[in-house]
Amino acid sequence: MYSHEVEQMTCVAKGANHGPAPIPQEGKWTQSKEIKDIHGLTHGVGWCAPQQGACKLTLNVKEGVIQEALVETIGCTGMTHSAAMAAEILTGKTILEALNTDLVCDAINTAMRELFLQIVYGRTQTAFSEGGLPIGAGLEDLGKGLRSVCGTMYSTVKKGPRYLEMAEGYVNRIALDENKEIVGYEFISLGKMMDSIKKGVEAGEALKKATGTYGRFAEAKTYIDPRHE
C-alpha cells in the first residue's frame, strides 16, 4: 500500500547495491542476510533490574541455531531455577527465537540480548577460528569437576577482609602473618572431592586429596576460619 504522494513520483533507478558489510565468522568473512548465515561461540553477561544477581551465558551457534548453552548465575537463589528452565529452552532455537523468548529471568534475558548483538555483529570469541569450536567447547569454561569459577570475598572496616571462595575452590583457612595480614590460604576443590567420593573414596581421604594451599601458607603465624572467626 503506497500513499498518493509516492504513487505520483517518477521512478529512479537504484544505484550500487553491495549488500551488508561482511563480518568475521569462524575464519570466514560472511555477508549475513539471514539467521542461518550466523555462526560462532561467545559469552555475555546480563543483570536484572534490581541488580541483585547476574548471569553469564555462553552460546555455541551453528547455522543460526543454538547448539550448546552454558548458563551460570550468581547472587540470586531464584535465578538458579530460572537458569535450569532457560537451559531447556535455549538449545534448538534460532538466536532470533531465543531473543524473543522469555528466558524466565531478567538477567538471563539481558545476557541473551548482549550475546545476540555480539553474534550478529561478528564479535564472537571464534570470529577468526577456522571452523569455529566443536559442540562441547562451552564446558571448558568450567574446568575439571565442572563447577563455575566463583570469587567470593567479604570485608568490614572493623574486622577486615575474608576470602570465602577462589578460583581453586572453597577457602577453608586464611593464613595471617605477625601483622595480621593475609599471606595465603588453604582451599578445597569441591569438584575433585565429590568426584573422588562418587568413585568410592572415603570422605576424609577425598577431602585430604582435594585440599591445597596458595601463597606463603606454611610460613603464617596464625590461621583462621574465614566463616567463623
DSSP string covering 86-130: HHHHHTTSBHHHHHTS--SSHHHHHHHHHHHHHHHTT--TTTTST
> How many whole angstroms separate alpha carbon 80 and alpha carbon 73?
6
Enter the C-alpha cell of residue 14.
537504484
Enter the C-alpha cell of residue 174.
586464611
> How many whole angstroms separate alpha carbon 229 and alpha carbon 175?
12
Distance of CA 21 to the CA centre of its chain: 29
Contact 212/187 with Cβ under 8 angstroms?
yes
Written as one letter, the residue type at 222 is: T
Average pLDDT score over the chain: 94
The position carrying cell 550448546 is: 68
pLDDT tens per residue, range 193-227: 999 999 999 999 999 999 999 999 999 999 999 99
Residue range 47-74: mean pLDDT, rounded: 95
> How many whole angstroms separate alpha carbon 204 and alpha carbon 207?
5
What region, left, alpha or beta, does residue 191 occupy, with left being phi > 0 and alpha being psi -120 to 50 degrees? Answer: alpha
* Predicted TM-score of the model (pTM): 0.87
Contact 29/39 with Cβ under 8 angstroms?
no
pLDDT tens per residue, range 150-169: 999 999 999 999 999 999 99
Residue range 34-45: mean pLDDT, rounded: 95
Enter the C-alpha cell of residue 150.
566463583
Q: Of how many residues is the chain composed?
A: 229
Enter the C-alpha cell of residue 32.
549475513
DSSP class of 156: E
pLDDT tens per residue, range 84-93: 999 999 999 9
